[in-house]
């Protein structure tokens, strides 16, 4: 019994930094995982990855001017994400290029510019902090920021839920029967950027999208309704955060990658064992052909 306590409870009971890391990562899961479900249903998962890189130059500019101060880096990330989202949308609307190609172009430029800006002033340690985050170093200011982002996200999801679901299923129908089509699209992009900026504080620009997409992708193998998928995705995100932090503590591994890899393990297991996974599909097929 004491061994289980030492393995599972003691790291969070004994150390304040582990408590803050757990609280912050659970809040991130609560906001980012439902957004990831809508990204996946819209077949925009890779666009989420692009947006995660898009915030880098703004965060890097904040770092260049103010150092590792959370507020300037957050504001910079939000501005950069908005510029890339609007720029890619404008290019796809007014030229022959599709949105996925313009988004990829903007994301590559943003990633290179952000790394260059960090390198102008910071060391390799600072660069690693911006790219991969430091969830174990979350302070009260960062937790307050993440909490605010989660509150805004859940409020917007509750307010625009039906419109968001309708746009996933048939965006042309939504625009034909309601004026909410275009506004909801931009609200959703804003939520993506907002949650990526929140995840940036803990997981960095390269891993924040992982907590958004992997639990959502895993939930697809366990549920078929949008609401159920969001709940399952959040629970998977919670489990990945707890397991990742414990693995990081006991094995002395980087905490951010440990969380994302834990989510990845759940995703791979869901492909095989989920109610809509490979094994269940094979069993059902054998019963039908027997």
Q: Please state, in angstroms and as integers, the Cα–Cα distance from residue 114 to each residue in 53, 54, 64, 111, 120, following that order.
A: 9, 9, 10, 5, 10
pLDDT of residue 8: 83
Looking at the predicted structure, is the pLDDT value of residue 78 above 80?
Answer: yes
Looking at the predicted structure, is the pLDDT value of residue 243 above 90?
Answer: yes
pLDDT of residue 241: 94
Mean pLDDT of the chain: 82
pLDDT of residue 36: 92
What is the pLDDT confidence band of residue 227, given thresholds at 50, 70 and 90? very high
Q: CA triplet 229, 220, 198: central angle to 5 degrees?
A: 60
Q: Which of 16-25, 77-86, 89-98, 223-232 has the lowest mean pLDDT?
A: 89-98
Domain containing residue 101: CATH number: 1.10.3470.10
pLDDT tens track for 274-288: 888 888 878 776 777
Q: How many CB atoms lie within 10 A of CB 141?
A: 12
Looking at the predicted structure, is the pLDDT value of residue 100 above 80?
Answer: no
Looking at the predicted structure, is the pLDDT value of residue 165 above 60?
Answer: yes
pLDDT of residue 72: 80
Question: How many angstroms separate the CA atoms of 195 and 114, rounded?
Answer: 19
Q: Are 216 and 209 in contact (CB under 8 A)?
A: no
The domain of 163 spans 2-289
pLDDT of residue 124: 62
pLDDT tens track for 116-160: 877 776 666 666 666 667 787 788 888 888 899 999 999 999 998
Question: How many angstroms separate the CA atoms of 57 and 81, rounded?
Answer: 9
What is the pLDDT confidence band of residue 112, given thresholds at 50, 70 and 90? confident
pLDDT of residue 185: 77
Question: Which tops the pLDDT comparison, 98 or 40?
Answer: 40
pLDDT tens track for 173-225: 666 666 666 678 778 888 888 888 888 777 776 678 889 999 999 999 999 89
For the chain, what percent of residues have pLDDT higher than 90? 30
| Tokens linked to 248 | 């990081």
Q: Are 31 and 154 in contact (CB under 8 A)?
A: yes
Task: Indicate the number of domains in the chain.
Answer: 1
pLDDT tens track for 253-268: 888 889 999 999 999 9
| Tokens linked to 98 | 């599709």
Q: Which of 43-47, 88-92, 122-126, 222-226 has the lowest mean pLDDT?
A: 122-126
Looking at the predicted structure, is the pLDDT value of residue 71 above 60?
Answer: yes
Supply the pTM of this predicted model.
0.86
> Which has the closest alpha carbon to 240: 221, 220, 212?
212
């Amino acid at each position: 019994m004491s061994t289980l306590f030492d393995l599972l409870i003691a790291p969070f009971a004994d150390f304040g930094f582990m408590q803050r890391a757990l609280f912050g990562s659970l809040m991130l899961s609560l906001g980012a995982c439902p957004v990831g479900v809508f990204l996946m249903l819209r077949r925009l998962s890779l666009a989420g990855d692009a947006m995660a890189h898009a915030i880098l130059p703004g965060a890097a500019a904040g770092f260049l001017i103010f150092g590792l101060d959370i507020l300037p880096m957050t504001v910079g990330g939000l501005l950069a994400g908005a510029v890339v989202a609007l720029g890619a949308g404008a290019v796809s609307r007014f030229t022959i290029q599709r949105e996925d190609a313009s988004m990829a172009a903007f994301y590559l430029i943003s990633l290179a510019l952000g790394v260059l800006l960090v390198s102008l002033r910071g060391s390799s340690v600072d660069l690693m902090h911006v790219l991969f985050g430091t969830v174990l170093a979350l302070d009260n200011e960062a937790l307050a920021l993440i909490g605010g982002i989660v509150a805004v996200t859940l409020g917007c999801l509750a307010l625009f839920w039906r419109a968001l679901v309708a746009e996933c299923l048939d965006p042309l129908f939504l625009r034909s029967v309601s004026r909410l089509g275009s506004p909801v699209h931009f609200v959703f992009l804003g939520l993506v950027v907002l949650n990526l900026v929140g995840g940036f504080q803990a997981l960095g620009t390269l891993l924040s999208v992982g907590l958004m997409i992997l639990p959502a992708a895993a939930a697809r193998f366990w549920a078929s309704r949008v609401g159920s998928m969001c709940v399952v995705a959040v629970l998977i995100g919670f489990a990945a955060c707890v397991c990742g932090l414990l693995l990081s503590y006991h094995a002395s591994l980087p905490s951010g990658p440990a969380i994302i890899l834990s989510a990845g393990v759940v995703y791979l297991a869901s492909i095989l064992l989920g109610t809509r996974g490979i094994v269940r599909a094979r069993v059902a097929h054998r019963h039908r052909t027997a």
